[in-house]
């Protein structure tokens, strides 16, 4: 019963039981030692909140805006590749859950369901995440498809010029669609609900790049395709070119360093996402929540700042907002919800975060998320200091 899931960790445990190992591990992994992946979550616990009492806690609101779009809470769904392998038609279900909840959904370039699949199965605009490839004609065609589908923002990912390495994926022989080796057949046979759902859909390989990428399915072909296609020379000039080509709202994803953030201010982008790709790229980099105040200090209010990485509760959302993020994105909490129970599981993940965020804000003595700042944080010396 999804209603018994009280935390994102409960949904994660349920997803682990329902999703074949290679796909669950794909979500629940980071680069190399996974040190940055762990730090993304653990650093939130180092930030303390101030408990306030005897203040009016009625009539609270979590409604806010991200890049000028109204959101029922300042949380968006992050772009994640292969999402349709966590659950059949996963991207469609995620987009529908986000739409019903009143928050943005971002579709990955490397999704299983295509841009057109999402447009045909939702009623409001969604956001499209772009990886820049050397083949600029292909980029132009992706941007054209996103525009034709009515996407209201382009999220340009900057931190994957070169693909990081995750040991679990290599050991598992990750592929989409799954291969029929004895190991993989066993993994799927022990996940019957996943198999039943998957049997009902035809969407089992990369919907946006199919036709452009021939025979890309298993990890080694995907890695070599990425190495061939993704542009290691990506530059600020390219960002300018994409901004002009797209012409709409632009969000730059994957900025961790204050110097890069300052460069982004002059790029004409509408927002930046402080992110280390969920600890999946540079292992040993600072956690996103530790980077956020440094970036915010560097750019002030000159550009809207968002963040992602390690958000697992409403308390985490509030801490990120207090440190200067206008909004946050969730990657794994979304995937765990999806794996745990499809669209209802994603809705459950969002309900959990919203309830935690609301109660936490109230206990900090505040009623309106748009007024939250660093004053809600407890910066007094800690016991161990």
Q: How many CB atoms lie within 10 A of CB 378?
A: 11
Q: Which of 87, 184, 277, 306 is catalytic?
A: 277
What gap in Å lies between CA 380 and CA 228, rounded to an integer?
51
SS3 of residue 143 by DSSP:
helix
Q: Are strands 153-157 and 249-255 parallel, antiparallel or unpaired?
A: parallel
Is residue 80 a contact residue for ligand FNR (CB under 6 A)?
A: yes
Binding site annotation covers 26? yes
Is residue 310 a contact residue for ligand FNR (CB under 6 A)?
A: yes
Is residue 242 a contact residue for ligand FNR (CB under 6 A)?
A: no
Is residue 85 a contact residue for ligand FNR (CB under 6 A)?
A: no
Question: Which of these ranges, 14-22, 52-60, 75-83, 132-140, lies near ligand FNR under the rule CB under 6 A?
Answer: 75-83
Q: How many CB atoms lie within 10 A of CB 124?
A: 14
Binding site annotation covers 310? yes
Q: Are strands 75-77 and 153-157 parallel, antiparallel or unpaired?
A: unpaired
Is residue 40 a contact residue for ligand FNR (CB under 6 A)?
A: yes
277 is catalytic: yes
| Member of 113, 330, 350, 369 binding ligand FNR (CB under 6 A) | 330
Is residue 331 a contact residue for ligand FNR (CB under 6 A)?
A: yes
- Return the closest-CA partner of residue 109 out of 56, 63, 151: 151
Question: Which of these ranges, 14-22, 79-87, 200-208, 354-362, lies near ligand FNR under the rule CB under 6 A?
Answer: 79-87
Is residue 219 a contact residue for ligand FNR (CB under 6 A)?
A: no
Q: Using CB under 6 A, which residues numbered 169 to 198 contact ligand FNR?
A: none
| Residue whose pair of structure tokens reads 């935690």 in the numeric block | 356
Question: Which of these ranges, 134-142, 237-245, 277-285, 366-374, lies near ligand FNR under the rule CB under 6 A?
Answer: 277-285
Q: If phi over 0 gives left and psi between -120 and 50 gives alpha, with beta otherwise, what is residue 248? A: beta
Is residue 67 a contact residue for ligand FNR (CB under 6 A)?
A: no
Q: Using CB under 6 A, which residues numbered 337 to 366 contact ligand FNR?
A: none
Q: Using CB under 6 A, which residues numbered 98 to 117 contact ligand FNR?
A: 108, 110
| DSSP letter string, 270-297 | SEEEE--GGGTS-TTPPPHHHHHHHHHH
| Residue whose pair of structure tokens reads 């209603």 in the numeric block | 3
Q: Which is nearer to ligand FNR, 62 or 320 (CB)?
A: 320
**Measured CA angle at 153 (ends 275, 267), to 5 deg:** 65
What are the backbone dihedrals phi and psi of residue 245, each rounded to the nearest 5 degrees, phi first? -60, -45
| Member of 5, 27, 76, 213 binding ligand FNR (CB under 6 A) | 27
Question: Which of these ranges, 72-80, 171-179, 222-230, 234-242, lies near ligand FNR under the rule CB under 6 A?
Answer: 72-80
Q: Which is nearer to ligand FNR, 14 or 332 (CB)?
A: 332
| Member of 118, 151, 311, 353 binding ligand FNR (CB under 6 A) | 311
| Member of 20, 81, 178, 207 binding ligand FNR (CB under 6 A) | 81
Cis amide leading into 379 (omega within 30): no
Q: Which residue is nearest to ligand FNR (CB)?
A: 331
Binding site annotation covers 183? no
Is residue 309 a contact residue for ligand FNR (CB under 6 A)?
A: yes
Is residue 78 a contact residue for ligand FNR (CB under 6 A)?
A: yes
What gap in Å lies between CA 207 and CA 223, rounded to an integer?
17
What gap in Å lies between CA 235 and CA 242, rounded to an integer?
11
What's the closest the beta carbon of residue 59 comes to ligand FNR, in angstroms? Answer: 30
User: For binding to ligand FNR (CB under 6 A), which residues are involved?
Assistant: 26-27, 40, 78-81, 108, 110, 129, 157, 253, 275, 277-278, 280, 308-311, 330-332
Numbered residues of the known binding site for glyoxylate: 26, 131, 166, 277, 280
Catalytic residue IDs: 277
């Amino acid at each position: 019963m999804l209603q018994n899931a009280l935390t994102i960790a409960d949904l994660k445990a349920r997803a682990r039981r329902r999703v074949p190992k290679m796909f669950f591990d794909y979500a629940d992994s980071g680069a190399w030692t996974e040190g940055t992946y762990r730090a993304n979550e653990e650093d939130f616990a180092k930030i303390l909140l101030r408990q306030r009492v005897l203040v009016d806690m009625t009539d609270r609101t979590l409604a806010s805006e991200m890049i000028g779009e109204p959101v029922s809470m300042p949380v968006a769904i992050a772009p994640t590749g292969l999402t349709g392998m966590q659950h059949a038609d996963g991207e469609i279900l995620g987009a529908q859950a986000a739409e019903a909840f009143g928050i943005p959904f971002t579709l990955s370039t490397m999704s299983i369901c295509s841009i057109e699949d999402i447009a045909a199965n939702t009623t409001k605009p969604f956001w499209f995440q772009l990886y820049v490839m050397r083949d600029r004609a292909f980029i132009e065609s992706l941007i054209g498809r996103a525009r034709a589908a009515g996407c209201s923002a382009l999220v340009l990912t900057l931190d994957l010029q070169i693909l990081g390495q995750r040991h679990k994926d290599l050991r598992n022989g990750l592929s989409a669609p799954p291969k029929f080796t004895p190991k993989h057949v066993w993994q799927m046979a022990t996940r019957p609900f996943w198999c039943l759902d998957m049997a009902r859909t035809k969407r089992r390989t990369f919907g946006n790049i199919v036709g452009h990428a021939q025979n890309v399915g298993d990890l080694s072909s995907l890695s070599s395709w990425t190495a061939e296609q993704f542009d290691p020379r990506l530059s600020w000039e390219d960002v300018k070119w994409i901004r002009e080509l797209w012409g709409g709202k632009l969000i730059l994803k994957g900025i961790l360093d204050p110097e890069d953030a300052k460069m982004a201010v002059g790029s004409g982008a509408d927002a930046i996402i402080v992110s280390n790709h969920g600890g999946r790229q540079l292992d040993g980099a600072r956690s996103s929540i530790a980077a956020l105040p440094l970036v915010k200090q560097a750019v002030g209010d000159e550009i809207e700042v968002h963040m992602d990485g390690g958000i697992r509760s409403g308390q985490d959302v509030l801490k990120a907002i207090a440190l200067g993020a206008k909004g946050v994105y969730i990657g794994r909490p979304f995937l765990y919800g999806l794996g745990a129970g499809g669209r209802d599981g994603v809705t459950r993940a969002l309900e959990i975060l919203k309830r935690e965020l609301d109660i936490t804000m109230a206990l900090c003595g505040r009623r309106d998320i748009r007024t939250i700042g660093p004053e809600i944080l407890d910066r007094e010396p800690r016991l161990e200091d």
